[in-house]
Copies of this chain bind each other. A is one copy, B any other.
Amino acid sequence: MRKDPITGRWVIIATGRAKRPSDFIRQPVTLSKPAACPFDYGNEAKTPPEILAYRNSGGRDEPGWRVRVVPNKFPALGIEGELNRQGDGMYDKMNAIGAHEVIVETPDHAATLGEMPERQIEEVLWAFKERVNDLKKDRRFRHMVLFRNHGAAAGASLEHPHSQLIALPVVPSSVKAEVDGAQRYFEQKERCIFCDIVRQESAAGARLVTETDRFLVIQPYAPRFPFETWILPKGHGSHFEDADAPTLQNLAWILRTTVKKLEKVLERPAYNLIVHTAPVQEAPLDYYHWRVTIVPTLTKAAGFEWGTDFYINPTPPEESAKFLREAGLE
C-alpha cells in the first residue's frame, strides 16, 4: 500500500501478479465517421456562435479555422444570472452559474493527439490559456476545469477531436483537498511538494517515462489507476494559464509523445486528460504546482472504489513506466 503524498490517499498496488498491458481487455478507439459532425468544416452553424477562432481564412462561423472555441450546446451551467446563494432548511444551494465551452482542436475529424502536428497542439494549448484568462475576469468563477475525453469508453459523446473547459462558481472538493495537502507540506518543509516530486522522480528514474528541459513525465508513486500518467512542469508555477510560450511549445511535444506511447503500449485506448491547476482567483501560490494527468480507461471502478475513494491498482507504476519508456517511437 502506498500513500499519495499530496492528498494522503492510500492505494493498494498489486505485487506478484501485476497486470501487464496485454492483461487488460482493450477496446481500441475506432472512428465511425458520422454523416454530419457539427465540428467539421461547413457545419459551423450547427454549434452556437464561436467565442474564439484561430483562422487561415474565412469569417466568423465560417470554414477556414484551425482551432475553434464554441459554447457547449447543452451546457451544464448557465452563464447568465446571479449565483443567488440561499439556504433550503438545513441545506445550501445556489444557481449553477458558470461557463461550459468546447475547444474544437482541428478541422480534421480523424486526427488524434498522438498524430496531430505539434504546432496544432500548441495552438490548442494557447486557446486553453486564452479562454481561461478571459473567463477569470468574471469574479463569479472560482475554478476552471480543462479536460479531454477520448473515446466512448472515456465518456466522449462526439469523436471529433475536442477538449472542454468548465468554469465553476466553487472550488471542487478534490481540488481543495490537493491544494490544502500541498499547503500543509509547504508549511512543514517550506518547499513545494510537486517540486520535491520532480527532484525525487528525476533522480530515481524508476517511474520516469520522459524528461525534457521543461517537463517530467512520470507514473506517480501511488496511482489510483494502471498507467495513470502525470506530466509535471519542472519549473514552479501554480496556474496553467500563466505558462509562457516556450513552456507551451514543449508541452505540445510532450503531450504528443506521451499519447503516442500510451497508444502504442495499450493499443489506442480511450482516455481522460485533465489539467490540474490552482483556483483561478488565487494569486500565484508557492505551494501548488499545475500539471496534466492522463488516465487510460482500462479498469472499471466498482462499488468499493466510489464508496470509499480507496483504489486497488493492478499495475505497479514502476512496471507501467518501464513499458512506456521502452515504447520506441518511430
| Interface residues in chain A, defined as those with a beta carbon under 8 Å from any beta carbon in chain B | 1-3, 5, 7-10, 12-13, 76-77, 88-96, 145, 147-149, 154-156, 164, 166, 168-170, 172-175, 177, 196-197, 200, 204, 221-222, 272-274, 276, 293, 295, 300-304, 306-310, 312
Contacts and interface: CB of A to CB of B under 8 A. Distances in A.
Contact of A272 (B1, B272, B307): B307
B204 A89 contact: yes
A3 B176 CA distance: 15
A189 B203 CA distance: 50
A303 B149 contact: yes
Nearest to A295: B306
Contacts of A310: 145, 168, 172-174
A147 B91 contact: no
Q: How many copies does the complex hold?
A: 2
**Secondary structure of the A contact surface, majority rule:** mixed
B1 A169 contact: yes
A307 B93 contact: no
A148 B93 contact: no
A90 B166 contact: no
Contact of A302 (B2, B96, B272): B272
Given A1-B96, A2-B91, A9-B172, 12 more contacts: A2-B88, A10-B172, A12-B76, A89-B200, A90-B197, A90-B200, A148-B303, A154-B303, A168-B310, A174-B307, A174-B310, A295-B306
Contacts of A5: 90-92
